[in-house]
Amino acid sequence: MVAAYFSGDTRKVLPASEVEKQLADLAEWEEKTFGYSLNTTTEETAQMIREVYHLKADLIEDFMEEDIKNALLEKKMVIIPVNGRKLGNPYFRQPGPIYHMFVIRGYTKEKMITNEPGTKRGENYPYSFATIKNAGADWNHKTNTIDEEKSVMIVVSK
């Protein structure tokens, strides 16, 4: 989604076959680069964004609501890794994904507006900042599960 945004792709919906091909290509790149393709950390995801899409990707740990809003005001995109089960999204296949990432594309006075790839009803899906912050997590390869003590976001720009 983020790469499409920065490439100027204005299609409302990306064709499933096109997305599936891109996901397969990314999995192949991850296998070649990391030796695995599931549950990449934010640092590994940022590396993939830099090397595959040639975009800037910065990490902000212990982010606050203003960090998200400032990035969006600067026409950057924000990717958030979370414990998907803490989001309370009724459209997830329950109980929801343990590790999940989504894009924040905007905000209102009370909500962060996301593109939520975990469901067919994910376009413009609203979450409160408190929900996002509470769900924040990153993958930990040493424990082979999420680290809920780590709250980090990826800020992507050209």
pLDDT tens for 33-77 read 999 988 999 999 999 999 999 999 999 999 999 999 999 999 999
DSSP one-letter string for 54-75: --EEEEEET--HHHHHHHHHTT
Residue among 77, 76, 99 at smallest CA distance from 150:
99
pLDDT given for residue 41 in this prediction: 96
pLDDT given for residue 3 in this prediction: 86
C-alpha to C-alpha distance for 114 and 40, rounded to whole angstroms: 21
More confident residue, 16 or 76: 76
Q: What is the pTM of this model?
A: 0.92
- Is the pLDDT score of 12 beyond 80? no
pLDDT tens for 79-133 read 999 999 999 999 899 898 999 999 999 999 999 999 888 787 888 999 999 999 9
Task: Classify domain 56-157 at the CATH superfamily level.
Answer: Phytochelatin synthase, N-terminal domain (3.90.70.30)
How many CA atoms, within 13 angstroms, populate the side-chain half-sphere of residue 133? 12
Residue among 136, 88, 137, 80 at smallest CA distance from 104:
80
